[in-house]
Structure 1
């Protein structure tokens, strides 16, 4: 009985330690810990982070103040209007010209979960056509991105979308950023943005 109790205690401790490794990147109140790039709109409303096209209808980014190399990122997003956006990782920026890789967030059948290299090789991998259906238009979606060494994996609503092994990504380093695509009429809501460094 004592052995069983000790094992249960150790297991509970391990779960608590694991949970403490996850850190929230968004406090639900303001954009503390993030940097705005471009003239597009980023604001907080009802505990949600919102990106919306501004008058310039250009690209816009909201980047973490800190760089992240190996991590598991989880978040929720809801697309309104044209939901063309994305989650950049191991990235850097000059003005609104971003270098790095993007885990796509886009309208239905436009490759949410795929990996795109900005100002480089373009699409590196897209989800299979049959996996595009896992996006819930107009609803909250759960997104997970794991970046470790030269490997990247994405999940959408608990479904594995893509896995990519790429030497160039393995050499990369930089911040995480959320994107507004150019063209105008874009609005995306974000919440529960959490990271676990590996």
Structure 2
């Protein structure tokens, strides 16, 4: 009987995991930039099924729709010392790369910054709870947009848990984002930071947010 119960539980867990995987919708098709648009300097190219940054500073944003109450999964590889970011809660279609900095949030990709400027934080706004990113390897970032709450896991480890209105440090330098509230839903994008910052993306997918 115990073996039967354990087998049944294993089947249920496996089935639930498989069902959850089917809920992911890929936003990058691995072939071209269909559904995406670039603003600013530089560009993104598709190389061997991967998105690769070139030059910058610019932003590749998804034109299909705004996102809120979803989980965004980004699989990326940043060689040692390279810089990029995932932008969320962008309020309107961007025409240049600085509006998303100041009116959305950048989830940072950079393993050399301090705890307010490293992978998985809302750039310069939140302090990292952990630093699990692995330079030069494929990493999985999951960004949960839950109403006014933003939660970021990197490789399954919690890095950020921020709710609108939580205290943040003051802006210290011009290129840090303006402080203030962001919308509950918005466009998303990927940053090409500069000519020396070559970063690769293998997957950008979303799924609906499910509460227990």
Give the TM-score category using the shorter length: 0.7 to 0.9
Counterpart residue number, 2:136: 138
Please give the TM-score of this superposition, normalised by the length of structure 1: 0.79
2:177 pairs with 1:179: no
User: CA shift at 1:11, angstroms?
Assistant: 7.4
Distance 1:147-1:29 versus aligned 2 partners, 3 A rule:
same
Distance 1:7-1:106 versus aligned 2 partners, 3 A rule:
closer
Considering only aligned residues, what root-mean-square deviation do their CA atoms show, in Å? Answer: 2.6
Distance 1:140-1:7 versus aligned 2 partners, 3 A rule:
closer
Counterpart residue number, 1:108: 112
Q: Is the 8 A contact 1:84 1:106 kept in 2?
A: yes
Distance 1:138-1:150 versus aligned 2 partners, 3 A rule:
same
Question: Which is worse superposed, 134-143 or 146-155?
Answer: 134-143
Q: Distance in 2 between matches of 1:157 and 1:62?
A: 23
Residues 1-198 of structure 1 mapped to structure 2, 5 A cutoff: 17-53=19-55, 58-65=56-63, 66-80=65-79, 82-91=81-90, 92=92, 93-97=94-98, 98=100, 99-109=103-113, 110-116=117-123, 123-128=124-129, 131-132=130-131, 134-167=132-165, 168-169=181-182, 171-182=183-194, 184-198=195-209
Structure 1 ranges of 4+ moved more than 4 A: 6-17
Please give the TM-score of this superposition, normalised by the length of structure 2: 0.75
Q: Distance in 1 between matches of 2:11 and 2:118?
A: 44
Distance 1:95-1:114 versus aligned 2 partners, 3 A rule:
same
Which structure shows the bigger proportion of residues in strand conformation?
1
When the two structures are aligned, how many residues end up with a matched partner? 182
> In structure 2, the residue corresponding to 1:90 is in which secondary structure?
strand
Counterpart residue number, 2:174: none
Distance 1:166-1:37 versus aligned 2 partners, 3 A rule:
same
Distance 1:72-1:46 versus aligned 2 partners, 3 A rule:
same
> In structure 2, the residue corresponding to 1:125 is in which secondary structure?
coil
User: CA shift at 1:144, angstroms?
Assistant: 1.0
User: CA shift at 1:7, angstroms?
Assistant: 9.6
Gap runs ≥5 in structure 1: 117-122
Gap runs ≥5 in structure 2: 166-180
Q: Is the 8 A contact 2:81 2:112 kept in 1?
A: no
User: CA shift at 1:95, angstroms?
Assistant: 2.1
User: CA shift at 1:74, angstroms?
Assistant: 1.1
